[in-house]
Amino acid sequence: MALVVQNLGKVYTTRSGELAVLRDVNLTLDSGEALAVMGPSGSGKSTLLHILGTLDTPSSGTLSLDGVDPFKLKEAELAGFRNTRIGFVFQDHHLLPQLTVLENVLAPTFVTPGVQADDVAAEARKLLERVGLNARLDHRPAELSGGERQRVAIARSLILKPSLMLADEPTGNLDRANAAGIGELLLELHRERRTILVVVTHSAELAKLFPRTATTNDGRLV
């Protein structure tokens, strides 16, 4: 498994002209590798993450994951690719308030054809035990702390065993103790499951945990 980005660029058209947010970005990450991306606001790091997650399209260059260029897929195929190959963890966990912890972890499987209900339920329980929430399966998000909600989001991101994990400011809303725990947990699970992990963060403390760090500067990845 590998993520390969070549000469990636993103240009937005504004009232005052074209705005280049990303320029000639090149990146290769193999299975089991992790990268933290830092940079000031407006430097392109969130745009890069959105393109890696196929939530946005590049203006130039190519991207492939597991040998597939997702931007050449039809819309329905792309949605399936995104759901099964890519796991997302956001700053705001985006849990569904009406669902239990267990149901939130299972949510990506609800729209995935061919999954076996018993198998994914067992996997969800295993993940929740791994993130320390096996006693909270029937609780709803409002009954959890911020750190616990983020642990649910991490478990959810892994339920379909993705090749790529993407995390956008995963510790941004947490206190220092919870932030450290979430950062370490992300890296532990990524190593155990041999995923590719890319995290965008403003936190130097989180970035220090990663074996590789890059910085976005004027749209370029350094």
pLDDT of amino acid 58? 95
The verdict on residue 125 lying in a domain is: yes
pLDDT of amino acid 93? 80
Other residues' Cβ atoms within 10 Å of the Cβ of residue 152: 25
The verdict on residue 13 lying in a domain is: yes
- Please name the residue that has the structure tokens 């500067």: 217
The verdict on residue 221 lying in a domain is: no
CATH of the domain at 88: 3.40.50.300
The verdict on residue 38 lying in a domain is: yes
Report the DSSP beta bridge partners of residue 220. Answer: 217
CA distance 94 to 153: 8
Of 176 and 162, the structure prediction assigns the larger pLDDT to 162
Q: Which of 9-18, 27-36, 98-107 has the lowest mean pLDDT?
A: 9-18
pLDDT digits (tens, 9 = 90+) for 21-63: 999 999 999 999 999 999 888 888 989 999 999 999 999 999 9
What pTM value is reported for the model?
A: 0.92
Strands of 2-14's sheet in order across: 17-30, 2-14, 60-65
Structural domain that includes position 192: 2-216
The verdict on residue 222 lying in a domain is: no
Strands 196-200 and 34-38, by their bridges, are parallel
Q: How high is the mean pLDDT of the chain?
A: 92
DSSP state of 33: -
pLDDT of amino acid 138? 95
Other residues' Cβ atoms within 10 Å of the Cβ of residue 90: 17
pLDDT digits (tens, 9 = 90+) for 54-95: 999 999 999 999 999 999 999 999 999 999 999 999 888 889
Report the domain count for the chain.
Answer: 1
The verdict on residue 126 lying in a domain is: yes
Report the DSSP beta bridge partners of residue 213. Answer: 36
What mean pLDDT do residues 145-169 have? 93
The encoded tokens of residue 146 equal 């911020």
CA 110 to chain centre: 19
DSSP state of 150: H
Other residues' Cβ atoms within 10 Å of the Cβ of residue 161: 12
CA distance 66 to 28: 12
